[in-house]
Structure 1
């Protein structure tokens, strides 16, 4: 299956990403700062970091994860505002209400970012492009905030597309444009390709998605394990669709940490503890199901969430540890971990011989 594969069940995704969300919410109460470089974050005296900066501040190099002391040296006129999560969460609840006017399939990746599946929705004659445009206009009209959006037939591509015309823009990838878009895409844009993975890909001569061909799979698996196959799939425009089956379900466990975690070794120890509890839950599912994937989820100190998964036929500690390291390596500088989740996807055995439908 490739990105140009088509079928009768066309899927449509909209990814909405709010523009400099924390700062934009603050500026609703302080419009006199609209033309100033503004950031939200901890103070330099407390060794704080920047959570969000507006686009004026970004011109000076101020960005998320940057130490506040460094940001203030780079931009002496920077206006620093404290973080007010309760205010941002209130706006996120309003965003959720707006999104659900269009679909009940809303998945928030963080307070300011959500994926909407609008497959089969009838508003605007089913046009995801028109729905996305209307969502952006509604957010601006009702909340006074701007949002960028991406529209695509694959969830991860919609997220990538949302970054193309940022801020306050929209980019659409239609099914027949997927292959061309991916061919020219920097492989670092693929979810899960962080500095360490990219170093391996670059050594293999893979800088764009078009470079990651089927012939590269053995080398990818040799150096990156199952993650190498994941990268190849995404570069081909292949996304997991077996989860649409009613016979696929997730069994998981997660824990909010008593204090933020700053060390990978501590995350791995916590995963070991979670594994014990998860094995008990897997046993409760019964013998009618087979494990098909392991998944690790991390929630960061800025409340954003990253997750990744890999094929597995058991709860494999080596796979779980590798997934955790992958998420750790791709996290933005300065973000600690506040929650760790571990899960498996299981499939009913009687469905093993059923061929799953293509997405197009």
Structure 2
């Protein structure tokens, strides 16, 4: 038995206090803050009525089913009065820096996931506030006072549960998942609600007769590992409310990627190129939202027999636009055509990253 297993079983590991802060409809809220004419109206940041995808949607637009990553034409169909505005990422980045300065007043251990969300480990905190709930309340109040924007917070004893908790009282609220209720909270959770489990993995779980956290918990570690590889161990433990991942301050991300498994195998270039488009969109949205750029584009191809190949191209200067990212990714695909066998998955990633701004016993601590 490993030391981590013994700690889980004996309760020797110290209970952490983790906060997940998530800004409410961040991009859209900034636009409504800065333009009073947009307040109270359905708003989409990014795209246009004719083309592109929605980068963010206001809560007024979400009532009509408008969501981020939705094609703009679909969003407009669902909400005919939808207003499109161009994103202002420099403004969003400036506001994000304000918010991170507020985090730094409470802890040095915080891990930004994007411009609008972060994990904070406040087990030991600068202001020696005993309750994580009080810290979350103070942070949210100061964000509102300094930026005019609202944030939601999730508080728990690990990252997985803190992330789930932040969705429970949105917008402008907070929720606590304590050690006492954590395992039960996960038990009733739909597999599709598990952070990190996408539609393809959800479908695979469902095909195995697994629909809830309790269903996952009822599976053996061997079964989950056999069906989900390395991720099986992660699923085994989070279904029990256990997540030992630390909050990583100043984490350096090595790559940004997106991939998709097709419902039916594909072989034609046009069909494969079309499937690349939403993946390129997803990678570029992350680049824009974080100010990250990279020099190496990689194409991942998984064939019907599960053979995997990757092809990469590096350029001297960072990829500066979605058009360039598309050109490089499609170029890699075209260079390999025709494939000898059909394809079941494509992926696109960007690496050699840097920030655009740069030169190149479990203690029962109250939550």
Provide TM-score, normalisation by structure 2: 0.68
Q: Give the whole-Å Cα distance in 1 for the aligned partners of 2:143 and 2:115.
A: 14
Aligned to 2:271: none
- Where does 1:1-360 land on structure 2 (aligned, <5 Å)? 1=5, 6-7=11-12, 9-45=14-50, 47-121=51-125, 123=127, 125-213=129-217, 215-240=219-244, 254=255, 256-258=293-295, 264-265=300-301, 269=310, 338-339=350-351
5+ residue gaps, structure 2, are 257-292, 303-307, 315-321, 323-343, 354-360
Q: Distance in 2 between matches of 1:252 and 1:84?
A: 23
Cα shift at 1:125: 3.5
What secondary structure is seen at the aligned counterpart in 2 of 1:231?
helix
**Does structure 2 conserve the Cα–Cα contact (< 8 Å) formed by 1:4 and 1:179?**
no
Alignment CA distance shift 1:197-1:135 (3 Å): same
CA drift of 1:204 comes to: 2.7
Moved more, 70-79 or 146-155: 70-79
CA shift in 2, pair 1:75/1:259, >3 Å: farther
Does the C-alpha gap of structure 1 residues 171 and 4 become closer, same or farther in structure 2, counting only changes over 3 Å? farther
Q: TM-score, normalised by structure 1?
A: 0.69
Rounded to whole Å, the distance in 2 between the matches of 1:253 and 1:191 is 21
Give the deviation of 1:157 after TM superposition. 1.1
CA RMSD of aligned residues (A): 3.5
Check conservation: 2:107, 2:126, Cα contact below 8 A: no
Indicate the larger mover: 217-226 or 52-61.
217-226
Q: Does 94-103 or 197-206 show the bigger shift?
A: 197-206
The 1:16–1:253 alpha-carbon spacing in structure 2 relative to 1, beyond 3 Å, is: closer
Number of residues of Structure 1 aligned to a counterpart in Structure 2: 282
Unaligned runs of 5+ in 1: 245-249, 275-300, 302-324, 329-335, 342-356
